[in-house]
């Protein structure tokens, strides 16, 4: 069956739709008779709504309804804990009381006949508050730091603190990474339309099944009464994993006015209620022998959460398994702030944690006088020492070798502040990247049609990596069809359930389910042919036939055999097969499964004004099988650009007085633009991992970003001799370079 | 000066192209209108109804189609394209003029349609992404975006392509560095910049 469609660098099957402007995102599904809703966001960071001047606004042109906690219906809010929701705490219940928990919390909705009327009325609404000063500074010593109740916050083997204290060579430093916002190009948007007690949501979501279940719970409806539709996502990076308050509010408004309602968040509101990468404060302490063997590793980190939920991420997890060391202690705490609940952002936890660990490893290499790559080689583990299990595959050192050669690491002079290009200071840095190879249970459906083509359906999403294309490749490969003969559809809860589109597990999870469905469809087609008296394989045993390139024949036969079309033509009905795949629990028990990579960065720094320019980034990754190298490389270089943002630009700044994000604007929240782009190259080592899943894929979305920021920070040190342990690195950090 | 107002009783005709942005905003504002409306209208009673429904008549060409519209003078060109003319291919990324997702060509020049009022473009020739495909054939720049993987999520793509057309027409596509500079008003959060530069360079060579 192997047609080698998996592994081909094909252009996107939905490329034409997208470049023609025909891809429809949530806000593009205008409905007949639709009204426009605009949210009013709280302008204090903590307190209560005291007074709302509703009368004037209600009489403004075009206004149909003004909804506040005073007239909003009480919502059912049945218990719902999606796998993506924090394990501890309860979601924000919107417009149910007068409490303001954080700056920007929705406090009213204006519904009007046009967007302009709704915006104008929302801007005119006057609300008075009883306000208190919120606690929003993570570094403030008064902020309560708690042990996450979900557990798993502390891990330890050996006596790490003693080992570090006694070590011949040590590094013990603190790291501070800024809060970031996802800032996808597409703002969150939902169009809600009720028909009796059935609700349809055209909504930006990375997790359709959860959005369906959550909204059903919020409104007390049977799950099947809610349909969520989202064929295209304009980037998300994690922000659309959870179902945020605006989704509930759009449905609430639509029910209130008995008309379809469209609600799109403003860019400013994208900084309020739709999650953020929490600022992290970390300490990493390393102890080593003079020849560079780690003897002790301590990694303590604190993330942020809200007062009402405990958001956790894998901040210190990589430290448990990345290097060989007998004494390792990791600790994770949460700072509870008066803020909206954070959420996962590309490479959640790992990207932040690895900045601290890989900065410390780099620092240790200089103290030891050992090349940074050699230091990692000397601490390369044979197994996952935290779990006591072998890795299903681990190609870290091969990644370093491939990347180093391509990057020209040998040209790097070991001393910091030693390389120049004219008057510019040149620095080269490297760092390890890693991310777990997850696999979540998923289902999919295959329909073989009379014309010999196939339709594939799954309630999956495509926020940009190319799910449409890669899944079409998987189906074409296993069915033995040409790419053009397969149509893959996603983006509605009417299709078979899939997990969230995040955590780098879509390819592994949905892809494996599609494979299973294809194999089941083939099996059914074979049975049909065998049962058909007019078929050349009539009466042959199931084992006596085989599929080759989409044709069924007797095993070993050289005749052309039967196509799907031949089989279906004689029997009529299409063949429909459901597939389901999940990770074998025995395999999960047996192996530690992660992707690994090595990232190299070169920076040029102007010594007079401190401007930092990334000149080159090379990343080499061991991610198992690569389904589509063209799209995979694009995803990797995109992740590197995200990592550049993390290293040098991105931070959401809060006003300490009221928690207001002061740079809630695309021009003030700095992100890499075209001119910032360096030479970028992504490489993949050949890696066969038979354990992770039937496709042998490990996932790519997260690891593409993880590791870039420390590689750049390490390059900055190499260029200047100045170690910056706070991201983003800014010009002022370079002034003393 | 043509009468572009739909207010039949207006004492003084209002041509949308003659109004400054501030005038338009003042006209539209319910509270700010006090100083403006009396000069335009015969009676106070008329003013009350007019405030609720004030519109201006604008005609322009969008993708070779003549459009004549009575629109709220506060409406951005972007909102008119998306919400009135049902052309959602042009995207609203920030509504702050900072991301470029809403880029369209107006009289051949690329502009961000979120920062310009539709009523300011009387008689203009407007081109959006929907107009590039001719007789089922993609524009070479559209093809280049697919071939060079100049997109991921696709949300910035309409703006990138319209901006790319402007970049090429301006003669700013002579080198990858020049393209990078002149395409930096269009943010791609997925980071498809290498493909975008390659696509614009490729199409520039062929045009």
Which CATH number do you get for residue B195? Answer: 1.10.150.120
And the tokens for A344?
Answer: 């996962």
And the tokens for A579?
Answer: 């597939």
Would you list the DSSP string of A664-684?
-STTTS----GGG--EEEEEE
Q: Which residue of B has its CA nearest to A638?
A: B191
For chain A, give the percent of residues with pLDDT over 70.
Answer: 99
Residues of B with CB below 8 A from A701's CB?
none
Residues B106 and B147 in one domain: no
* pLDDT (tens digit per residue) in A630-644: 999 999 999 999 999
And the tokens for A641?
Answer: 């650009």
Residue A625 scores a pLDDT above 90: yes
Q: What is the CA radius of gyration of chain B?
A: 20
Please give the pLDDT value at position A736.
Answer: 66
And the tokens for B101?
Answer: 């997702």
Domain membership flag for residue B38: no
Query: Average of pLDDT values for A677-701?
Result: 97
For chain A, give the percent of residues with pLDDT over 90.
Answer: 97
* pLDDT (tens digit per residue) in A261-275: 999 999 999 999 999
Window 101-130 of B: residues touching A by CB (8 A cutoff) are: 101, 128-130
Contact A61 B53 (CB under 8 A): yes
Total Cβ atoms within 10 A of residue A530: 18
Please give the pLDDT value at position A569.
Answer: 86
* pLDDT (tens digit per residue) in A380-420: 999 999 999 999 999 999 999 999 999 999 999 999 999 99
Interacting residues of A586 by C-beta distance below 8 A, sequence separation 6+:
none
Domain membership flag for residue B145: yes
Q: Of B83, B113, B131, which residue is a domain's last?
A: B131
Contact A185 B153 (CB under 8 A): yes
Please give the pLDDT value at position B173.
Answer: 98
Contact B155 A25 (CB under 8 A): yes
* Sole residue written with tokens 């459009």: B67
And the tokens for A227?
Answer: 């349909």
Angstrom distance (rounded) from CA A94 to CA A713: 41
HEC secondary structure over A297-324? EEEEEEEEECCCEECCCCCCHHHHHCCC
Q: Which residue of A has its CA nearest to B156?
A: A185
Residues B167 and B187 in one domain: yes
Smallest Cα–Cα separation from A523: which of A470, A453, A579, A570?
Answer: A579
Residues of A with CB below 8 A from B33's CB?
none
Q: How many helices (H) and strands (E) does chain A have?
A: 17, 31
Quote the crossing angle between the two packed helices B140-147 and B157-169, to the nearest 10°: 120
For chain B, give the percent of residues with pLDDT over 70.
Answer: 74
- The H-assigned helical ranges of B21-62 are 21-28, 37-40, 44-53
Extract the runs of DSSP E, i.e. beta strands, from A437-563.
442-448, 454-457, 486-489, 545-548, 551-554, 562-563
* pLDDT (tens digit per residue) in A328-387: 999 999 999 999 999 999 999 999 999 999 999 999 999 999 999 999 999 999 999 999
Q: Of B69, B97, B131, which residue is a domain's last?
A: B131
- pLDDT bucket at A559, cuts 50 / 70 / 90: confident
Smallest Cα–Cα separation from B85: which of B67, B109, B103?
Answer: B67
Interface mutation target, options A19, A464, A667, chain B, most CBs of B under 10 Å:
A19
* Residue positions of A annotated with a catalytic role: 702
* pLDDT (tens digit per residue) in A534-556: 999 999 999 999 999 999 999 98
Residues B126 and B155 in one domain: no
Chain B interface includes A559 (CB < 8 A): no
Domains of chain A: 15-22+440-582 (3.30.365.10), 31-132+189-235+240-271 (3.90.1170.50), 280-438+588-734 (3.30.365.10)
CA distances from A656 to A133, A727, A735 (A): 8, 19, 26
The alpha carbon of residue B177 is apart from the nearest alpha carbon of chain A, in Å, by 8
Q: Of B131, B153, B179, which residue is a domain's last?
A: B131
Query: Average of pLDDT values for B24-49?
Result: 39
Domain limits at B108?
58-131
Contact B145 A15 (CB under 8 A): yes
* pLDDT (tens digit per residue) in A183-199: 999 999 999 999 999 99
Please give the pLDDT value at position A571.
Answer: 66
Domain membership flag for residue B28: no
Residues B65 and B115 in one domain: yes
Of B72, B152, B187, the CB nearest to A116: B72
Window 152-191 of A: residues touching B by CB (8 A cutoff) are: 183-187
Domain membership flag for residue B118: yes
A6 touches A477 (CB < 8 A): yes
- Give the total number of structural domains in chain B: 2
Residues of B with CB below 8 A from A124's CB?
30-31
Q: Which residue of B has its CA nearest to A636?
A: B191
Chain B interface includes A26 (CB < 8 A): no
Residues B180 and B145 in one domain: yes
Contact A264 B92 (CB under 8 A): yes
Residues B112 and B156 in one domain: no
Smallest Cα–Cα separation from A13: which of A445, A466, A490?
Answer: A466
Total Cβ atoms within 10 A of residue B128: 24
Contact B138 A672 (CB under 8 A): no
Chain A interface includes B167 (CB < 8 A): no
CA distances from B35 to B26, B27, B72 (A): 9, 9, 19
Query: Average of pLDDT values for B85-107?
Result: 98
Q: Is A542 helix (H, G, I), strand (E, B) or coil?
A: helix
Please give the pLDDT value at position B17.
Answer: 38
Residues B63 and B125 in one domain: yes
Residues B103 and B150 in one domain: no
Please give the pLDDT value at position A570.
Answer: 74
Q: Which residue of B has its CA nearest to A669?
A: B98
Residue B191 scores a pLDDT above 90: yes
Strand partners, A304: A335
- The complex scores an ipTM of 0.97
Residues B97 and B154 in one domain: no
Window 450-489 of A: residues touching B by CB (8 A cutoff) are: 463-466
Interface mutation target, options A29, A118, A185, chain B, most CBs of B under 10 Å:
A185
- pLDDT bucket at B80, cuts 50 / 70 / 90: very high
Of B30, B95, B158, the CB nearest to A266: B95
Residues B127 and B144 in one domain: no
Residues of B with CB below 8 A from A673's CB?
184-187
Contact B152 A183 (CB under 8 A): no
Residue B42 scores a pLDDT above 60: no
Residues of A with CB below 8 A from B92's CB?
27, 187, 264
Smallest Cα–Cα separation from A575: which of A563, A583, A567?
Answer: A567
Domain membership flag for residue B169: yes
Residue A607 scores a pLDDT above 70: yes
CATH number at B109 reads 3.10.20.30
- pLDDT bucket at B53, cuts 50 / 70 / 90: low
Please give the pLDDT value at position B54.
Answer: 84
* pLDDT (tens digit per residue) in A491-546: 999 999 999 999 999 999 999 999 999 999 999 999 999 999 999 999 999 999 99
Domain membership flag for residue B48: no
Q: Is A47 helix (H, G, I), strand (E, B) or coil?
A: strand
Q: Is A647 helix (H, G, I), strand (E, B) or coil?
A: helix
- HSE on the CB side for A450, CA within 13 Å? 5
Window 17-56 of B: residues touching A by CB (8 A cutoff) are: 28-31, 51-53
* pLDDT (tens digit per residue) in A473-484: 999 999 999 999
Of A267, A634, A666, the CB nearest to B192: A634
Phi-psi category of residue A364: left, alpha or beta, with phi > 0 → left and psi -120 to 50 → alpha: alpha
Residues B127 and B146 in one domain: no
Burial label for A16, CB within 10 Å (0-12, 13-18, 19+), is: middle
Residues B180 and B144 in one domain: yes
């Amino acid at each position: 069956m192997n047609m080698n469609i998996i592994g081909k660098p094909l252009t996107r099957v939905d490329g034409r739709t997208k470049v023609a402007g025909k891809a429809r995102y949530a806000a593009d599904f205008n409905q007949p008779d639709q009204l426009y809703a605009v949210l009013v966001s709280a302008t204090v960071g903590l307190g209560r709504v005291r007074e709302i001047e509703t009368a004037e606004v209600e009489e403004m042109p075009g206004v149909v309804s003004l909804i506040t906690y005073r007239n909003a219906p009480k919502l059912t809010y049945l218990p719902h804990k999606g796998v993506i929701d924090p394990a501890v705490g309860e979601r924000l219940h919107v417009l149910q009381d007068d409490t303001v928990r954080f700056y920007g919390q929705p406090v009213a909705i204006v519904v009007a006949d046009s967007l302009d009327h709704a915006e104008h009325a929302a801007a005119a609404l006057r609300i008075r508050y009883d306000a208190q000063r919120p606690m929003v500074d993570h570094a403030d010593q008064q902020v309560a730091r708690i042990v996450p109740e979900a557990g798993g916050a502390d891990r330890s083997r050996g006596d790490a603190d003693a080992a570090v204290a006694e070590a011949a060579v040590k590094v013990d430093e603190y790291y501070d990474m800024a809060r970031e916002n996802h800032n996808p190009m597409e703002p969150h948007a939902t169009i809600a339309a009720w028909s009796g007690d059935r609700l349809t949501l055209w909504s930006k979501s990375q997790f359709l099944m959860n959005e369906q279940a959550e909204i059903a719970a919020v409104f007390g409806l049977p799950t099947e009464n809610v349909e969520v539709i989202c064929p295209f996502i304009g980037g998300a990076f994690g922000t659309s994993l959870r179902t945020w308050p605006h989704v509930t509010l759009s449905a609430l408004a639509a029910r209130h006015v008995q008309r379809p309602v469209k609600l799109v968040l403003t860019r400013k509101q994208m900084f309020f209620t739709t999650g953020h990468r929490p600022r992290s404060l970390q300490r990493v302490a390393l102890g080593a022998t003079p020849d560079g063997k780690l003897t002790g590793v301590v990694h303590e980190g604190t993330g942020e959460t809200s007062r009402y939920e405990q958001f956790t991420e894998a901040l210190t997890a990589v430290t448990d398994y990345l290097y060989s060391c007998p004494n390792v202690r990791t600790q994770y705490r949460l700072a509870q702030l008066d803020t909206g609940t954070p959420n996962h952002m590309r490479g959640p936890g790992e990207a932040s944690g690895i900045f601290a660990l890989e900065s410390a490893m780099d620092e240790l290499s200089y103290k030891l006088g050992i090349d940074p790559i050699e230091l990692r080689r000397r601490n390369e583990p044979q197994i996952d020492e935290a779990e006591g299990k072998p890795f299903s595959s681990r190609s870290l050192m091969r990644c370093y070798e491939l990347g180093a050669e391509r990057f020209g690491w040998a040209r790097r002079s070991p001393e910091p502040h030693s390389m120049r290009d004219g008057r510019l200071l040149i620095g080269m840095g490297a760092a390890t990247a890693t991310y777990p190879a997850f696999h979540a249970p998923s289902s999919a459906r295959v329909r073989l049609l009379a014309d010999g083509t196939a339709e594939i359906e799954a309630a999956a999403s495509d926020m940009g990596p190319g799910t449409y294309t890669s899944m079409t490749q998987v189906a074409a490969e296993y069915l033995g069809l040409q790419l053009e003969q397969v149509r893959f559809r996603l983006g509605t809860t009417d299709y078979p359930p899939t997990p969230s589109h995040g955590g780098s597990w879509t390819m592994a999870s949905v892809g494996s389910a599609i494979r299973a469905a294809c194999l089941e469809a083939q099996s059914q087609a074979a049975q049909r042919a065998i049962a058909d008296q007019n078929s050349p394989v009539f009466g042959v045993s199931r084992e006596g036939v085989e599929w080759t390139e989409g044709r069924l024949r007797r095993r070993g036969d050289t005749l052309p055999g039967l196509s799907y079309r031949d089989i279906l033509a004689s029997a009529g009905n299409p063949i429909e097969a459901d597939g389901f795949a999940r990770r074998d629990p025995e395999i999960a028990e047996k192996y530690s499964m992660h992707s690994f990579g090595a990232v190299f960065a070169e920076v040029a720094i102007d010594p007079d004004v401190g401007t930092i320019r990334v000149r080159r980034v090379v990343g080499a990754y061991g991610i198992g099988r690569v389904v589509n190298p063209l799209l995979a490389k694009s995803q990797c270089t995109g992740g590197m650009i995200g990592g550049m943002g993390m290293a040098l630009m991105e931070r959401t700044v809060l006003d300490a007085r009221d928690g207001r994000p002061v740079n809630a604007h695309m021009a003030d929240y700095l992100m890499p633009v075209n001119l910032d782009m360096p030479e970028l190259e992504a490489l993949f080592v050949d890696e066969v991992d038979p354990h992770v899943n039937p496709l042998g894929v490990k996932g790519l979305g997260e690891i593409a970003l993880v590791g870039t920021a420390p590689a750049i920070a390490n390059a900055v040190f190499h260029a200047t001799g100045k170690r910056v342990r706070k991201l983003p690195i800014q010009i002022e950090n370079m002034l003393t370079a | 000066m043509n009468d572009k107002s739909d207010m039949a009783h207006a004492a003084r005709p209002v041509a949308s192209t003659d109004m400054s942005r501030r005038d338009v905003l003042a006209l539209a504002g319910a509270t700010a209108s006090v100083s403006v409306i009396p000069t335009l209208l015969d009676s106070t009673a008329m003013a009350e109804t007019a405030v609720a429904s004030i519109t201006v008549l604008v005609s322009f060409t969008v993708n070779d189609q003549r459009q004549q519209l009575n629109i709220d003078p506060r409406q951005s060109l972007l909102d008119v394209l998306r919400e009135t003319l049902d052309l959602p291919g042009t995207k609203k990324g920030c509504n702050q003029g900072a991301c470029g997702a809403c880029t369209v060509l107006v009289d051949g020049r690329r502009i961000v349609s979120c920062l310009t009022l539709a009523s300011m473009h009387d008689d203009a020739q407007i081109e959006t992404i929907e107009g590039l495909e001719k007789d089922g054939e993609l524009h070479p720049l559209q093809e280049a975006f697919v071939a060079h993987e100049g997109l991921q999520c696709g949300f910035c793509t309409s703006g990138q392509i319209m901006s790319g057309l402007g970049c090429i027409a301006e003669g700013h596509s002579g080198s990858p560095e020049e393209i990078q500079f002149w395409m930096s008003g269009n943010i791609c959060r997925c980071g498809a910049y290498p493909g975008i530069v390659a696509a614009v360079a490729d199409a520039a060579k062929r045009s």
